Amino acid sequence: MLDPQVKHVVGIDVAKASHTVCALEAPSGRVRQRPRSIAATAEGHSELCQWLAQWGGPEAVLVGLEATGSLWEPLYDALARAGYQVLVLNPRQTSSWSQSLGLRAKTDGIDAQTIARGLLAGYARASTLPAETVQALRELTRARRDLVQSRTAARQRLLDELVVVFPELPSHLPEHTDLANPAVLHLLGAYVSARALAEAPLADVTALLEQRSDGRWTREQAEQLQALAKHSTASTRAVRARGTVVSTFARHLLELQRHVDDLEKAIAAALRDDEVGKRLQGIPGIGPIHAATIRAELGDVARFSRVDQVVAYAGLDPRVRQSGAFVGQRKLSKREGSFDYAGVMVIWTYGGTGAWAKFGGGFRQGARPALAPRTQTPAASNLSLVCGSNALGGTQLVRHLPVGSAAKARGCPGARFHAREDPHRLHAAPGLQGSRRRDVRGRLAGLGQAES
């Protein structure tokens, strides 16, 4: 319900260049200010504060604005400094208000008035604003994620070019390394094809390898690579152009890696004084990057009282459609393409191992999620095993691995049920090879036996 002290409600539709403001009197709902635009500048914010002062003091005015990306932050800061109570509203919430009012058109003015009407009716639920540390980690981890995705795409593009200009190189690199090795990238930046490497002076190749590998690769490795290049089955078509592409992507990968390293240093610095981040890193399998990502995406865990609330927040809860005899297909509340690694990790770490108490959750350690039987979708079940393998040290996300009926029937997102049912399913997991695969399989099986 609306506070009786509030005499005016103000809805603001936020945009990049300008904001649209609409004010209603409370409780009558009479329009005090028709939708009107202000510039998204300091002058515009000052003009808005003058309007608000005419309508009453900070205790008599309630302001609501939609969380459109990060565009709302400057306006929110200006109003908060002036002492006004400001509610940041989830766009899904305001969209549902428009649908409930039967509005067909959508304009900035209509959106601002809809926000004001929602405030007047007392429907507004303010979004939780992240603390400074959480906001900083969110910016850093998401930027790092984008760079890592770009690095993966660039590495694949480089590999595609090597298939024609030096096909033997990726599988015959020294020490079984890969294209992520800086020494390899410097080599490709200098010698862009098998022909270029074969014709290069051996002394120059040796010097480059020794310098870029910190002395690990010597004349022996240089001779092996040159011999490989001389007997290569590389294409002779467009060699110069393809070499330019190889050199470009090699330098691009080196630059991306430097940026990733800079972000990881900033993440480590942000975690250094964060007590929750330190507790997270105390959980086996959670390192600085995983801890920062979980911390950034979950924020204040005190707002969650049960594991299944975290499941819903991560978008892994099933959405059921049923009416009469019709029972629709169950789908996850968020599309699979929008899943964040943090959400996956959270489900296994807290739902699967009972480590929530160590993180600071308000419910007992080992508490099981209160999900109804057979409500977990196959995609969510697959992701349970994904996070299990990654939390135990896997280096890649497992994107398939079908699950059996026993795991689905339990309805719990912990990887422990997969292990109890059939730990040998891990044989199909990419990124888990040899002893690592056996170690993960054994530890997952151990989790299942420990709970039996």
Instruction: For residues 325-345, give the mean pLDDT.
Output: 64
Burial class of residue 405, CB neighbours in 10 A (0-12, 13-18, 19+): exposed
Could you give the CA distance from residue 302 to residue 282 in angstroms, rounded to a whole number? Answer: 19
CATH hierarchy code of domain 135-270: 1.10.287.4070
pLDDT at 172 over 80: yes
pLDDT of the residue at 23: 95
pLDDT at 202 over 90: yes
pLDDT at 344 over 60: no
Could you give the CA distance from residue 381 to residue 402 in angstroms, rounded to a whole number? Answer: 8
Tokens representing residue 293 in the block? 């990502």
> In 3-state terms, what secondary structure has residue 182?
helix
List, as one string, the DSSP characters of 348-375: IIIIIT--HHHHT-SS-TTPPP-PPTT-
pLDDT per residue as tens digits for the range 402-438: 333 333 333 333 333 333 333 333 333 334 444 444 4
Indicate the domain borders of the chain: 8-121, 135-270, 276-451
Q: How many CA atoms lie within 13 A of 11 on its CB side?
A: 31
Question: Which alpha helices (H) appear in 82-107, and where do they start and end?
Answer: 91-100
pLDDT at 63 over 90: yes
Instruction: For residues 4-32, give the mean pLDDT.
Output: 93
Q: What residues pair up with 288 in beta bridges, in sequence order?
A: none
> In 3-state terms, what secondary structure has residue 39?
strand
Instruction: For residues 323-329, give the mean pLDDT.
Output: 88
pLDDT band at residue 334 under the 50/70/90 scheme:
low
How many C-beta atoms surround the C-beta of residue 261 within 10 A? 11
Task: Give the least confident one: 16-25, 118-127, 234-243, 441-450.
Answer: 441-450
Q: What is the mean pLDDT of the chain?
A: 78
* φ, ψ for residue 318, nearest 5 deg: -75, 140
Instruction: For residues 225-229, give the mean pLDDT.
Output: 95
Tokens representing residue 121 in the block? 């009716």
Which one, of 27, 21, 136, 15, lies nearest residue 84 by Cα? 21
Task: Give the least confident one: 118-132, 215-229, 297-311.
Answer: 297-311
pLDDT band at residue 152 under the 50/70/90 scheme:
very high
Instruction: List C-alpha distances in Å: 380 to 15, 47, 350, 377, 395.
Output: 35, 49, 15, 5, 20
pLDDT at 158 over 90: yes
Tokens representing residue 413 in the block? 């997102």
pLDDT per residue as tens digits for the range 39-62: 999 999 999 999 999 998 899 999
Burial class of residue 19, CB neighbours in 10 A (0-12, 13-18, 19+): buried
Options 3.40.50.880, 3.40.50.300, 3.30.420.10, 3.40.50.410; CATH of 8-121: 3.30.420.10
Q: How many residues are given for the chain?
A: 452
Could you give the CA distance from residue 134 to residue 293 in angstroms, rounded to a whole number? Answer: 10
Which of the two residues, 128 and 132, has the higher pLDDT score?
A: 132
Could you give the CA distance from residue 37 to residue 273 in angstroms, rounded to a whole number? Answer: 42
Percent of the chain with pLDDT over 90: 50
